[in-house]
Amino acid sequence: MNALTADQLPVVVIGAGPIGLAAAAHLVERGIEPLVLETGPTAGSAVREWSHVRLFSTWGELIDPAAEKLLAPTGWVRPDASTYPTGGDWAERHLQPLADVLGDKVRYGATVTGVARAGRDRIVDSGRDEQPFTVHVETSDGREERITARAVIDASGTWSVPSPMGADGLPALGEKTAADRIAYRVPNLSDPAVRARYAGKRTAVVGSGASAFTALALLADLAKENDGTHAVWILRRGISDNTYGGGEADQLPARGALGLRAKAAVEAGHASAVTGFRSQAVERDGDRLVIVAEDGRRLDPVDEVIVLTGFRPDLSFLSELRLGLDERLQAPTALAPLIDPNLHSCGTVYPHGVNELSHPEQGVYLVGMKSYGRAPTFLAMTGYEQVRSITASLAGDQEAAERVELTLPETGVCGGAGLFDEPENAEESGGGCCAAPTTLQIGVGAPASTSGGC
């Protein structure tokens, strides 16, 4: 395939979420044709699933510069930079307008089922680097398509694969059969049906990060209005000074306030903490559930369980590509040491780009939350910097690709690993944690002063 033909091929972007759409905006700015493939029916389909949740970050930190340049000529009004949007706000006021501007460069109802080198499975070396990518797509009406691409940017995120309850990273015994009583997302208690599910009930909340804080705070508010509502907070480790995050010392004030709300829920008796509890099994007790720990402890029966132990990437459709991934985090090999909760301590995760995100398979990139693999924290601004760097490299502007154009905030809050959702992280490693620079913005709560609730 000659260079001219290769240049005419689109760069396929998987996912029309915040980072995927930002990638498309940067590609357009560079004169490169993007094709965004979104499995859902709208832009930000995953974001809309937590539309009730308010972000830690302000509007000023959530709008990519290249995206804003595309939107400005349309009469789009930039939201107040100092305010905190909900997921629904983000989708409706920024992501969907951006996708609309991109027009037919975004396709909905298009699920990527595989990515490979044309005519080469992952074993074949001969002529591999000269071949374009083939992206296998299944449409919402059941049709199969093959799209040829010069490069692939996977911004599909991790939302579709929540981590299970089991402390070994696999579902607890009985977890699947009890699925009718187990949720893996922060509940939307403004929905009457969801509210009725938890009102007056005893609910176990498994997890120790921002999502768990959000659930505890919401259930505490519900308990004030409905007798019998109580949360049982299950932690795999003990409670320390850092369990509730940075509080007033956190330079992301919304996150600090959320931790204080969770602490208040425990102190007020709306939630009770069970520490050092590593879930091994879920058993039926009539209409209720009993959670059993590895050490044999059995909790009193609960009506519902909310598992908030983080997310993990779906790598199944990338199986024919040669990816360089860290064996623990499933993040790009060069990026993993910067974000590894087993090792990472105070200070920032410095902005990173194409060098840290490249793989042995040249031309394929995992970005956004997916680039962090099982590492539990992420900042949208980090993702915007990732795609700025990658698109510069695809345009042949290596100087811009290697230039840092982002300064991230610090918090000065460090210590144990209890500041984030709890996947298979370094909960007893003795290492510290990095707070604001890598804080997960997606699916987290806001301070009471901002939202009055979630």
Q: Is 94 exposed, middle or buried (0-12, 13-18, 19+ CB in 10 A)?
A: buried
- Reported as a pLDDT band with limits 50, 70 and 90, residue 2 is very low
The pLDDT of residue 454 is 27
Check the CA dihedral 19-20-23-29 and report its sign.
negative
pLDDT tens, residue by residue, 221-252: 999 999 999 999 999 988 876 666 655 555 56
Domains present along the chain, CATH in parentheses? 3-160+311-402 (3.50.50.60), 179-309+418-451 (3.50.50.60)
Element (H, E) at 110: strand 110-117
pLDDT tens, residue by residue, 300-321: 999 999 999 999 999 999 999 9
What's the DSSP call for residue 299? Answer: P
The pLDDT of residue 349 is 63
Q: Is 200 exposed, middle or buried (0-12, 13-18, 19+ CB in 10 A)?
A: middle
- Reported as a pLDDT band with limits 50, 70 and 90, residue 420 is very low
pLDDT tens, residue by residue, 163-218: 999 999 999 999 999 999 999 999 999 999 999 999 999 999 999 888 899 999 99
Nearest CA-CA partner of 211 in 187, 235, 239: 187
153: Cα within 13 Å, side-chain hemisphere: 36
User: Side by side, which strands form the sheet with 364-366?
Assistant: 106-108, 34-38, 11-14, 151-154, 364-366
Element (H, E) at 367: none
Instruction: Tell whether the model's pLDDT for residue 434 goes beyond 50.
Output: no
For the whole model, what pTM was predicted? 0.87
Mean pLDDT across the chain:
86
Nearest CA-CA partner of 309 in 416, 156, 155, 171: 171
